[in-house]
Structure 1
């Protein structure tokens, strides 16, 4: 030990100067122990003491009977999918294997090695209970399953998941954490992460900020120690002059201080930005130089090999026998360079590994990667574990290396697409640019095929710009007469341009490629024309879309069967938009026959066309049929890895379920659509999804949530002048109406419809706009304005669409309510019956509610009770809580005895539970949902759910109504 070394062995030095941090961590643990999710982020420079604080957190969690699980991301394994999460959870999964269920295991097994092992029988043969099929899955499904896994691990006492060095975590890990913050586990769970701010990705910093703003996050800055704290840490054996020298050289950084304290050398220079300070680097190098040659060699090999390594792996990397490696590890443990962890070893700190790695010559490291790759192949390690070493040691033209990288990429193409893209790019670097096509039967793709695969993986991972550029690069490489592959690449590039909200560039690219083709009617040209049709329809330019379709036959002698299906799928929408309802229905029936008979692989070739066919079914009012088609299309898109279209399809499914009154299923589908869109990083898809999520929330009686979703969709700013951008503004108007902010809603409707001057919304949505505005004006007692909206609604009636057109009758009923309630009742009943026949149940309930009010106004109390009873039944079955509460309130006004909805524990006004009273009281204080969540230690989503129940029980539709009801209740209590 150097003469100036402080007493305790470094690494076991006392913790000083962190009392405030520890108190904050303990408070978070207490909150988590009570049942509220917490996310804690320790933020500090390298060596600031974050890992030590996480160790203290782990001990405090165990003392509270919370199960602590620890993982760490690694500097030299940054591309490993879910590395830190696997490190934390994998060793604890086998015991939970029987509890997870086949579906969950099938999703998790490709990520967690322990579950893959558990799927093997004792002879190593794959089991039959839940074999992993390798089918691509949506990342959202995987993340949701991990959330359920955490809930399982948390039972019964609670869980603390500790992830260190997440600045090195791969994109998939950050996405997973982002998902868990926005959709917290429903259990006693605390997630604690530590990272370096200068090396953290923008996505990581954004999720930490969002967690703090959402009320579940706690950011803990970990700064340097003061000079007095350094002196306290070093103890009385170190003189004041030495303390000052160590403090100035370390800048108060605990790890730097520890490294420098190991050395008896004098220091020059202080802490600097960037890599290790020179004095610290010198101290670590001095520490390593004191090792025996074999120990240094094994340390260098282990640093190259893995963050957590076994003796055989270190031996293979160092090219020594296992006996030599074991002896060297004994020395490394004795010198506190590495520390044992069960049958494995880890460096005492990532910075020590960094120093050991840097001490090896670059050429030696390259050879070590090659030796590790050979060793891992010999023991049967999966391609994903070998890929990092193959990437660094492979040579140009090495076909085995290319095959390994491609295999690794395909294993995680949908689960961790950023990693897959990295490995495919590495494979391309090892393929000569003029390499011949690989021999048939080898299974190795050509360079051109790999480029297309890379473009698709980049798009799935939200790297839309990169995917577009890769597809364009492929176009530059393809021969001019390779029309089939050029068409496929151009169609994909145009689709990426569309996802990036660049429709003009998409159209120009398609037209340019069509001009290259000698025969514009050839099978190779049809896909490009189909994409042009889709581009026109997005802008509601159905006349131009129809003109392109008119040039295409229904089939051709040299067509693939899938092409016939695709053309048929595109035909209904333009016909519908042109008001040719008979043609649209005929086209829809023809497409339905072809789609029903076609195998999934035919649909997979044309998912964008299939999506338009599904949406056409919704515009025709055939919602049950549309839901069936959307479900199949989603399954095909997922099974073939075409996740860029899943958001569109899930949004359509949410719309179909919502119109059918299956609001719980609609909410789930809309939430999934939003999550997929966030992962895709496409503004267009986000607007699609958020719009449907907003509408479903509004139908469900969660108007504030609906407005928040609509506001986010409008803020994204994409799609101006196109249908989906206008739909977002329409959803915002509906949410404002639900909140009783009618003047703002009128302005929002004008914006969404372009004040009805060449609007780009579909006729059904325009009719809905007029109907809800007629109802809003009637509610304000403005008969003239209500009648004007009802008159305008008649302009958007489309003869032949019997499921949709009744909204015009409902609009007229709203207007007549103020002048002729008996006639209003007749109109509303007719609308209700037609809507129920079309299975449009929420609107049918609204029509019955209007009929009940009108009958009551006309003095026919019996008919009023009958209609209100029908409305209550529909709203209850659908889960439309606000509307249900309104209908029940009207029943009570007519003398109908309706059981209270408070249930067990309901003690407050309107039957509010104790927790609902607390939420309502905070609303009365003027607290926002986020503030209420923070005060009550619950999630914002939980607050929203409580508010929805409060609105229903109190019979109000806004926070203002809650305040009024609470004030009335307080006044009644005083009386």
Structure 2
């Protein structure tokens, strides 16, 4: 059979598609949905050669016909560690053509991180300096990756424009961590533009993150399983030129896999039954039929890159360029390779490249990699471009190869720490473990442990730190102490506190003088472990044995010890001691330069949190900001996420909710990148609190649910705090009974609570409020009394919660007294900078005055409340104040009335839909039918609507929606 005329359909080529009707329907639907609803994700899963790429080709055609911008990239088997390889492959050429336009459109805060990823944007020249605080070039914490992902999401939205963007990413089972982390990011933070991302992968080789990506997209996700062709489809695929009998034999040998079917058919009249039933075997036969020069160039190109330039392939194959180009003509004619545009070429399928690569002798491959590395070095290519070939060809003890790998690792550490760790491991494999190299090896192990930790490979980082402990001399107490402390920190992030404690105790037992300066860092870590376990007596006992300073202490250690002292004193109820210790630590911290703090940020973090708990919000925020800046520049991501969570907590208390939400979201992103359950719970807890007071009920409840569902930190204070935050979010979301139960559970029914005193006071005040919402006045008064018993006059920041809780209890029976109590609370809370709670108290005062028929005073209080709450960003509470003002006949400022109806009313979009239909007179059954919901779901929404609108009937809902200036639900 003539191969040129009888060759079957080539997988991925733009010829008529055989079968796949369901898949095409899904692709059409996803394109429609992207135009109608914005971001969509399509996942195509199938075995090698099943036809995923061919379906992606159909999607490319469909999208181009409909006016979408269409970009296509793929990951490559032999370049899996290259940062963002699939995305660079897809976007870089397009960015190169629109280089100036993109540079003018994007802010510097976006172009700077993107220029580190995309060569086309780096070629635009020096980027303008970003705004102060917007981007830090020295951010080695790992959150630099978050900024890259955020900038990349913004870039994709820009590229989409009004016509839409289809981004096709093939072979993602070979994608690097950066590409996968970005896809995870954009699925959780969908771009607000008509964007469709199509991701194809082999399920057997895919990571759990990739296989679950489509499920994380929820209704925006579409899944296509690409299976084998049926017998009739296979016959159609092969065409009429293939005899029926041979077609059946080919089908049976290939199992219906289109690529295998094609590869076997290419062999002409060979006996299919006598061949190994694998595609690689068939491909080796196909390659074996090439002229020698063409086969050599195919092998050289397979070594060079997934998308190669002829000149580099010629260097790898030691061929003159004219001869290489002649051989390339043969490869293109035989459809081994295909043009990729701009003078570059690709193999027709990754399996063809794999077969070509494996057909070359191992020694020859090593030499080819070395030739490419030398050629790139001669061109002045960066270490990152040479590292892959150096890794494959470098010899043991080759110092120059080690230097290239280390330089490449340090270049990508901010945005691709997993790749950095890979190249550091490669450098260590080439480095001899002898006396001359020992110090360099130890230094690289420290870097590797850090890179592994930042990239979320905490267990690997922990193991590297343990290897470092094994290599360090027994009497090198200073470095051993440091390594053990870092290792214990990673054990803690891995939710293994018992192992962390055991490691610290073991290392301390090795020291001849347990009170020596080298032992202090280990003892400090023991203090932190005790505080996390809510064993403050043990923490205090260790601190009591530690002096404040010593002549042989290294710089910064005295600050670190001082920073640990306030928290155990506060937890033990010794408020005066805690405040004095905080003031001492503040003075020492102010005098210490940043370089003295970098080693002790975990201790400084305890001071920051303690100051926030003590109500020293200004000091806490100042110290959180400084410590976070040091953490960014020194790469301590496991500390940074903690600091950002604490900063968000402080900002909530200060009533800076929008800023708190952004900070909490950054903390969540950092914790996800770190893959630490503990840090993620810290971050989600603060996101829950920031979102619930901002009016983002759904976001708050989801964050609280996830924080509690993580199930880590049992018996520790942060786990209880997460449950409290979830309860608060439920109360604010109009679910007071469920929320009150969750708050009580977080407080351990007040039998043996692990929460700090300030949070317990907030819990009691919230329980009083929830009881008042349910009309349980006696219960509300009981919680007010408990709030008073918990009050500590030495902590004035929380004093205002006592009269506020009392105001809730008096609201219905003694509204005038309730108003007086709420105004007293507002004054106390304002005096200690708790603006959000002061606004809540003023709102309670206004509502109580209204019930007492004191209309003038009610208007004054409600106006003040609305002003405070609006400035805080508390949208639901602001809406509540506006509603009360309208009932008093006050026209609300135009900025509020011009807002969306859901924002004005404090309802979620779905709640607004339900309320609008109820106001029209529809029954619950009719609402359920109209919105495709269950009756029970409608009842749940309606109960929340009653709570938020402070009404008790359907008539009240209609009245609230139709009040002047409210805006009608549509």
Question: What is the TM-score of this pair, normalised by structure 1?
Answer: 0.90
Q: Is the 8 A contact 1:809 1:831 kept in 2?
A: yes
Match of 1:229 among 221, 227, 233: 233
Q: Does 1:423 align with 2:428?
A: no
Report if the CA contact (8 A) 2:166-2:196 is conserved. Answer: yes
Could you tell me whether the CA contact under 8 Å between 1:633 and 1:649 is conserved in 2?
yes
Q: Which residue of 2 aligns with 1:597?
A: 591
Aligned partner of 1:261 among 257, 265, 269: 265
> How far has the Cα of 1:959 moved from its partner?
13
Post-superposition Cα deviations, 1:708-750, rounded to whole Å, max 9, x if no partner, equal 2111111111111111000011112212222343333343223
8 Å CA contact 2:723–2:743 kept in 1: the answer is yes
Quick check: 2:880–2:906 contact (8 Å CA) kept in 1? no
Equivalent residue number for residue 965 of structure 1: 957
CA offsets 1:171-201 (integer angstroms, 9 cap, x no match): 2211110001110112221111111111111
- Asked if the contact 2:735–2:944 (Cα under 8 Å) also holds between the matched residues in 1, the reply is no
SS in 2 for 1:163: strand
Cα distance change on mapping 1:264 and 1:5 into 2, 3 Å: farther
1:669 corresponds to: 663
Query: 1:248, 1:270 within 8 Å by CA — same for their partners in 2?
Result: no
Q: Could you tell me which residue of structure 2 aligns to residue 77 of structure 1?
A: 79
Alignment of structure 1 residues 784-803 onto 2, 5 Å: 784-803=778-797
Other-structure match for 1:726: 720
* 8 Å CA contact retained: 2:876, 2:903: no
Aligned twin of 1:196: 202
| Structure 1 unmatched runs, 5+ | 121-125, 272-276, 439-444, 936-946
Give the 5 Å matches for 1:708-723.
708-723=702-717
- Separation in structure 1 between the aligned mates of residue 891 and residue 947 of structure 2, nearest angstrom: 15
Match of 1:817 among 808, 811, 829: 811
Q: 2:39 maps to what in 1?
A: 37
Query: Could you report, residue by residue, the CA deviation over 1:869-925 in whole angstroms, capped at 9, with x for unpaired residues?
Result: 211112222221222222222223334344685538979997999999658679999
Task: Give the conservation status (yes or no) of the 8 Å contact 2:536–2:568.
Answer: yes
Alignment of 1:158-197 (within 5 A): 158-197=164-203
Match of 1:209 in 2: 215
What is the correspondence of 1:844-923 to structure 2 with a 5 Å cutoff?
844-898=838-892, 901=896, 903=898
Q: Secondary structure at the match of 2:475?
A: coil
1:168 deviates by 0.6
CA distance in 1, matches of 2:961, 2:815: 33
Residue number in structure 2 paired with 1:366: 366
Residues 968 and 795 of structure 1: CA distance in aligned 2, closer, same or farther (over 3 Å): closer
Structure 1 residue 748 and structure 2 residue 742: aligned? yes
Which of these residues, 231, 241, 245, is aligned with residue 245 of structure 2?
241
1:682 CA drift (Å): 0.8
The offset of 1:351, in angstroms, is 1.1
Aligned counterparts, 1:297-316, within 5 A: 297-316=296-315
Whether contact under 8 Å (1:663, 1:880) holds in the other structure is yes
Matches for 1:499-648 after TM superposition, within 5 Å = 499-648=493-642
Please say which of residues 958-967 and 447-456 is displaced more in the overlay.
Answer: 958-967
What residue is the counterpart of 1:344 in the other structure? 344
Mark the CA change 1:73 to 1:934 in structure 2 (over 3 Å): closer, same or farther: farther
Whole-angstrom CA distance in 1 between matches of 2:664 and 2:712: 19
Report how far residue 417 of structure 1 moved.
Answer: 2.0
- Going from structure 1 to structure 2, the CA distance change for 1:641 and 1:905 (only over 3 Å counts) comes to closer
C-alpha distance in 1, partners of 2:319/2:932? 57
Distance, in Å, in 2 between the alignment partners of 1:762 and 1:907 is 36
Q: Are 1:434 and 2:434 counterparts? A: yes
The match for 1:940 is none
Distance 1:254 1:925 in 2: 55
User: What SS does structure 2 have at the residue aligned with 1:320?
Assistant: coil
Deviates more, 1:247-256 or 1:900-909: 900-909
Q: Single out whichever of 619-628 and 94-103 deviates more from structure 2.
A: 94-103
Alpha carbons 1:905, 1:914 under 8 Å: kept: no
**Distance between the aligned counterparts of 2:129 and 2:486, measured in 1?**
38
Secondary structure of 1:219's counterpart equals: strand
SS in 2 for 1:494: helix
| Cα pair 1:294 1:328 within 8 Å, conserved | yes
Structure 1 residues 907 and 292: CA distance shift in structure 2, 3 A: closer
Query: In the alignment, which residue of structure 2 is the partner of 1:380?
Result: 380
Indicate if the aligned counterparts of 1:911 and 1:953 stay in contact, CA closer than 8 A. no
Q: What is the aligned length? A: 941
**1:864 CA displacement:** 2.0
How far apart are 1:854 and its partner, in Å? 2.5
Are the aligned partners of 1:581 and 1:799 in contact in 2 as well (CA < 8 Å)? no
Q: Distance in 1 between matches of 2:861 and 2:891?
A: 15
The alpha carbon displacement at 1:824 in A equals 2.3
Q: 1:615 to 1:970 in 2, by over 3 A?
A: closer
Query: What's the Cα RMSD here?
Result: 3.3
Query: C-alpha distance in 2, partners of 1:886/1:638?
Result: 40
Q: Any idea what the Cα deviations from partners look like across 1:296-342, whole Å, max 9, x if unmatched?
A: 11110111111011112111211222222222112211211111222
Query: Structure 2, unaligned stretches of length 5 or more?
Result: 934-939
- Per-residue deviation, 1:85: 0.5
Question: In structure 2, which of residues 48, 56, 68 is the aligned counterpart of residue 46 of structure 1?
Answer: 48
1:426 CA displacement: 1.6
TM-score relative to the length of structure 2: 0.91
Q: Between 183-192 and 703-712, report the one with greater CA deviation.
A: 703-712
Q: Contact conserved, 1:539 with 1:760, CA < 8 A, in 2?
A: no
For residues 819 and 584 of structure 1, what CA distance do their matches in structure 2 show? 40
Deviations 1:363-396 (A, max 9, x none): 2212222222222222222222222222222222
Distance between the aligned counterparts of 1:915 and 1:523, measured in 2?
Answer: 61
Alignment CA distance shift 1:616-1:917 (3 Å)? closer
Q: Deviation per CA, 1:134-171: give whole Å up to 9, x if none.
A: 64351211111111111222224321111110011012
Moved more, 24-33 or 664-673: 24-33
